Amino acid sequence: MVQLIFGVNLLLCVLTTLLAQEDLEEFGFWAAKKYECGVSSSPKLIVNGSPARPGQFPWMVQLTVRFPRSPPSICGGSIITSRHILTAAHCVIKGGKKGRVQVRYGSIDRRRGKKVDVKKVKPHPSYKTRPLAYDIAVLTVKKPIKFSFQVRPVCLPETIMEVVTKDAVVSGWGVHKGRATIDNLRYTTLKVQPNGMCKSYKANFNPYTMLCAFKRGTGPCTGDSGGPLATKMNNGRFVQVGIVSMGGANNCGSQPNVYTRVDVLMPWIQEEINSPRFYEEISSDEVVIDLDDAIEPYSFWSDDVVYGPEYDY
């Protein structure tokens, strides 16, 4: 059995099975012993709107989603096991139909990196679009993702996390300064806000399943949907607290953003990845971050690529 231990209240991103060691290695589980979750290879942190460095966000992936009679759409996602990606449901579902999804990982350049196709798209059973709710999906890839120092899973919450007023990092290949395409991964820091800030912009904001983050002049934009919102713990590891869900497509950085909360949906995520609970906690200082407030799904067209879904709430 493979076990990884990380600091207080983090969900260990490692699956264990009764398979032989060679099977574990084949499926990528054994590698997790060496490549632990939430570890960034880059020592430096956030300067708003900065280009990411190789290995800085090794869990970050780009999704190319294809629907019949539509140009491909682009979204973000995060590696949570060697076989599973976490993203927003609105990225992979259109008109009630599941798209064909390809994952690109292992490089900050979206034109490079390794590719793997998705064999299963599983949105939350309570997902709906009007109003947007439970905007989360787990993707199962056809072949296991091989971990390296530039490819690692992000850590997930084990318990409810209080994140309001704390800093969190969002990353993606979305629109930057009005440009249609961004080839290299960028990231920024936001402040998790009280629920009231998002409620004032979005009447359908649900504090149980959503959280709000904002920092004027910066934030996710077109093409960033589905990407992770993560906070850095005192032990140096990143834990994903949100998924980019809603925001103002035409006014990026001028309004609060809405994210799907990850902590309250962990029982469903665990069920979907069939992960037994072998998590251990150790005493360590916890960064307390409050989950309270808001963004929108985006729509942007350029060169026959749609950057996000066709919603604008």
180: Cα separation from own chain's centroid = 22
Active-site position among 90, 124, 275, 292: 90
237 by Cβ neighbours in 10 Å (0-12 / 13-18 / 19+) ranks as buried
Active-site position among 40, 171, 225, 275: 225
Query: Pick from 116, 188, 159: which is nearest to 286 by CA?
Result: 159
Q: What span, in angstroms and rounded, lies between the C-alpha atoms of 13 and 4?
A: 8
Active-site position among 78, 82, 124, 135: 135
- Does the annotation count 124 as an active-site position? no
- Does the annotation count 90 as an active-site position? yes
- Does the annotation count 78 as an active-site position? no
Asked if 256 and 295 touch (Cβ cutoff 8 Å), the reply is: yes
**Residues known to be catalytic:** 90, 135, 225
